Amino acid sequence: MPYVIGLLSLDTCDVLLGSRIRTRRETLEGGMPKYKYLSNRFLTIFENFSLGQNLGDFHSGFRAYTRDVLETVNYRANSDDFVFDTEFLAQAVYHGFRIGDIPIPTRYFKEASSINFVRSLKDGLQTVAVMGKFGLQYLRLGKFRIFERAADKTMAGKD
C-alpha cells in the first residue's frame, strides 16, 4: 500500500490499477481459468486501443483513486453490475485523468471470483458497448450521461 499511496500522492497518476497479467504462465499458475485469461487479454487490448492507454489488466479488482477523480467522475450514472468498473475507467480517461498500473499476484480459488462464464460473457459485451459510447462521445457523435461531470463536486461522494 505505501507504493500505491506514493504513486497517487506524488502526482504520478490519478487512478492506479493492479495488474494480474505479468506473464501468461504466472497468471495461469495463479489459478486464473484459461477462458478468463484469454477474454481478459482480448478485452484489455481492445480497451487500451479504444481509450489510448497502455495497461496490463483493466479487469482487476485492485483499484485506487485520488479524491479529484472521485469528485469529478459521474459514477452515480453507472451500471450496478460488473461493467461499473469499465465505465469508471472510461469516464476517468474522458476527463483527462492519468491511469497507471502496478503488478499484483494472481490468486484464484473458488471463492475468489463471483463471475461465471455466462456473466463474463455479458460483462465482455457490456465492455464493448462502453468503448463504443466512449468513442461516440469523444468524437462528439453522441452524448452519454456517464461522461458528464459529477453534478456537485462537493456532493459526489455523499448520498
Specify which residues 15 forms β-bridges with.
65, 99
Q: pLDDT per residue over 62-94, tens digit each?
A: 999 999 999 999 999 999 998 999 999 999 999
Instruction: Name the residue ranges covered by the structural domains of the chain.
Output: 2-103+117-147
Decide the pairing of beta strands 63-65 and 15-19: antiparallel
Q: Specify the higher pLDDT residue, 39 or 16.
A: 16
Specify which residues 65 forms β-bridges with.
15
Q: pLDDT per residue over 106-158, tens digit each?
A: 776 666 666 777 888 899 999 999 999 999 999 999 999 999 999 754 544 44
Q: Provide the pLDDT for residue 78.
A: 96
Q: Provide the pLDDT for residue 39.
A: 86
Q: What is the mean pLDDT of residues 53-70?
A: 92
Using the predicted structure, report yes or no on whether residue 22 has a pLDDT greater than 80: no
